[in-house]
Structure 1
Amino acid sequence: MKKLVSVLIFVSGFISANVMADPLDFPHIVTTGYGEVTAKPDMAEFSVKVLETALTAEQAKQAVDKVVDKYLSGLKKAGVKAENIHSSNLYLAPQYHYPKDGKPELTGYRANRTVNVVVNDLPKLNNYLDLALKDGINQVNNIQLKVKEEAKFKRQARMAAIRDANNKAKSLAKGFDMKLGKVWQISYNAPNTQPVVMRPMALDMRKESNSYQDSSLVIRDRVDVIYKLKN
């Protein structure tokens, strides 16, 4: 009887554990295919915060609510739909002075609220940030640049990964004078797309806020495949 020889070729430095969980007793090739697509961002999400400190809790609350209400009204007038604006509840905390000797002394209260905005018309992003500055918002937490048709770009990256796995398997089989058989197992875990994140900043950013125009979003995917080999 002809002795069966197992052929295992690692194409990448890492093969997912579930692909190699059980030893295979037939000739095979294990490949990992990678694919990526570059997309130009056409939408954004950003988060801004207003912080106020006052002698009393009520004063701090009123100061924060006044700024947030004005900003929300301005966003709606600028055409941002209500479902694309989300404001957090008020966070209020007492502020103390701690002398070296003696008990802590209450000095006032700090209040803050956060507003998250989805921007579907990317060229208007700067307008909404300028509006925040004008209305008294004093902190930008982050700006994330994204694409609306993310699913389409993910499919393109996935197909590129599949083609990469196939091409590697064909090349390896040919190089070892063997014939590539059918696919025996596919292992796939969709990676999360990472948006382009602009650095957090205070609202002194007129030179910084245009940098998103030159940004690009890279969407990546991978697939692990086991192919049978024929002698």
Structure 2
Amino acid sequence: MFAGRKFAAFLFDMDGTLINSIASAERVWGDWARRHGLDVAAFLPTIHGVRAIETITALALPGVDPGHEADLLLKAEADDLDGIVQIAGAVAFLNSLPPERWAIVTSAPRSLALARMKVAGIPVPAVLVAAEDVSRGKPAPDCFQLGARRLGFDARDCLVFEDAPAGIAAAEAAGASVMVINATHQHPLATQHAAISGYDAIGITVDERGWVALEPQRNAA
């Protein structure tokens, strides 16, 4: 698992990577999809890891204003925080990192991200890149490039933690290394990248420059 590799910083997606918010998101989006006559089962897998406005725009529904609908969905998601929890070991792992060496890069709007993080107990980082901070969402690389730049580094020197295909593609396009989190997947994602189901099995070491390396936790269950 990245044997011998050191990274300037870690960039974390949020939903599905640090927190499990699937039940909440799918309740809200499922209701929205039914109101618009969509096949809910086919539609829900498309919402993860992508900004709401881009998901809705891609549908090209007649008479639907993507910006307005995205705002309605944001309010509904902010009102439904039931069952949102951290991915196993996420909080302890984040707290072990030097605060200037990690960021959260999410497709969620900032207000929703902060609300979900609070419920799940996720610490708020110094750098949080949210949906409104970029003009192009994932799978474009802009968000990860911005997150790395705000930390003072190049994305190519960073490790991205992701769970969704759009986010993985964004990280690849940014030139970053990728760790896939499989915690919320019913079936492990087919990927060429390293993958873990939670954070209990990994720890870190920090060198004299502040660069961070992963190391396995031998006593992990």
Short-chain TM bin: under 0.3
Say which structure is richer in helix. Answer: 2
Higher percent of residues as strand: 1
TM-score (norm 1): 0.20
Structure whose CA Rg is larger:
1
